[in-house]
Chains A and B, each alone.
Chain A
Amino acid sequence: MKRLDLFRDVLDKQVTDREKTKMGRVDGLVLELREGQPPRVVSIEMGFVVLARRLHPRLADWFLRLRRRVHVRKQACYSVPWSRVLDVSPFCVQLDVEAAETPAFDWECWLRDHVIAHLPGVAK
């Protein structure tokens, strides 16, 4: 069984989808503590609120309040079950998803459809 250093090899790593499109980074990890057994990684989390929480819990609250006024994403934190991880390489954590269908791409899609599409000369 391959050894995985969660801090070194997973946390803050680039996350990509099936086609290796960049989606974001592993902003947080959720572990399950079990009686008499080693902890188990349940999911990886992505989102600004997760980063905010790493810095200070109050920052996360403030960010959530801000979100209530301006939000494009359906949820503040995108949680991906560990079972969806295809591969962990030195370059990225590859997920068995398609980027455009995940909340990670909500802002990206919104900008693309509401701003970029209206600007001239997009095709290169």
Chain B
Amino acid sequence: MNMKKATQLALGIVTGVGGFFDIGNLATSAQAGASFRLQLLWALALGTILVIFLIEMSGRFAAVSGKALPDAIREHFGFGFWLVPFLVLTLVHVLVLASEIGGICFALHLLTGLRPAVWALPVAILVWLFLWRSIFSTIENSTSLLGLLALGFVVAAVQHHPPSGELLAGMLPSLPHHDPAKYWLIAVSILGSVMAPYLFYFYSSGAVEDKWDSSYVGVNRGIAFLGMGFGSLIAFAAIVVAALVLAPRGIEVDDYHQAAMMLTDAFPFWGFILFAAIMAIACLGAGIEVSLSMAYTTAQTFGWNWGEDLNPREDARFCLVYTGAIFLSSLLILFGIDPLKLTLFTMAISAFVLPFVAIPFLLLMNDRKLLKEHANGWISNTVAAFLLVLSIVLAVVTIPLVFLGGS
């Protein structure tokens, strides 16, 4: 592997780690730890393994075919088939974007005392400016490097000395001792937050932006396994911290205010500020990605010119999509929707739509004409089959769980 690829691999791993954590992980991890201590670690582990494979497949697909997912799916399956996943994906994009913007607004509320809704428009403009003025690599690298701040959770978790017996027990699925509906709803939400549809769709467009070709298949594998793998450690750490700080005090996370104190045991003076900083940066990075993802998906669906590196003069419709998405999503926060409730609802919906958005993708991964020798082998296909079954199960149980276990 030459220098350039090695650098891309290293950067990709760092980006994967720094970019992994977003509002969905934060909200679901805090809830899981506070209400069920370490019992739900298995859900995170399962989601991580599956998302590693999803990301690997997505990157491999883009590198070998030279096309991003929405592009290839419309072309291959036709507009009629793609329409439903497209609409569903767009809806989820808007909800996730609103949740991320809500996260940034709440973090600013923590630091300034001003209501989150006050921050909605300024934050929207900030996110928009990032997209308007930067090129793809700058965005990816800067927000993800700052996102490494989230490793603070890992430091805090280590400081709390989690009991190893309980840690190991949590990695295996177990039945809850109380509140089963809430338990399973959080489990489903964790899966939805880790296997976020925007994540693997965005990744394929990113690979095309970075002009990957078949020679990047190895780099891609490294990024998927190490980047996502290490990134998920942050979410694990967040569950551990919530379990050891909030649960013993009987604090359940019904509100972001309760989660905000998570780091104050490990870092008595800075913990509060650190939490707010992590929240703001993680959500900013994710918010930018989701907006881009929506623009990529829409532009590719209709065949418009697209690319973050292009001057807005050259891809006006592409820019219009992310602009519209950002301001539409920010309206939800402006009108005072509870950011935590929105996030949890969105995570559940993400889990619900997984079959619609994953099935076309998994089918394409077996197209030998397109991918030649890089089409799915038996390992990837076994995981894909499992993923398919799981996604259908999720789609069936999510809505009932939302009514039974949620608020």
Give A residues with C-beta under 8 Å from B.
Answer: 7, 11-15, 21-25, 27, 51, 54-55, 91, 107-109, 111-112, 115-117, 119, 121-124
Contacts and interface: CB of A to CB of B under 8 A. Distances in A.
B71 A14 contact: yes
Given A12-B78, A51-B79, A54-B79, A108 B319 contact: no
A22 B313 contact: no
A15 B303 contact: yes
B316 A115 contact: yes
A124 B75 contact: no
A65 to B, nearest CB: 21
B313 A122 contact: yes
Q: Looking at A11, A12, A14, A119, which has the most chain B CB atoms within 10 Å of its CB?
A: A12
A33 B38 CA distance: 68
A21 B305 contact: yes
Contacts of A55: 79-80, 83
Contacts of B76: 12
Dominant secondary structure of chain A at its interface with chain B: mixed
B139 to A, nearest CB: 12
Contacts of A112: 313, 316
B78 A11 contact: yes
A39 B71 CA distance: 29
B360 to A, nearest CB: 13
B303 A116 contact: no
Given A22-B303, A51-B79, A124-B311, A116 B316 contact: yes
A108 B304 contact: yes
Contacts of A21: 305
B133 A124 contact: yes
Contacts of B93: none
Given A7-B78, A12-B74, A55-B80, 11 more contacts: A12-B76, A14-B71, A22-B305, A23-B303, A91-B66, A91-B67, A107-B317, A108-B315, A117-B313, A119-B312, A122-B312
Nearest to B134: A124
Interface in B299-321: 302-306, 311-313, 315-317, 319-320
8 contacts: A23-B303, A25-B302, A111-B320, A115-B320, A119-B132, A121-B132, A122-B313, A124-B133
B68 to A, nearest CB: 11
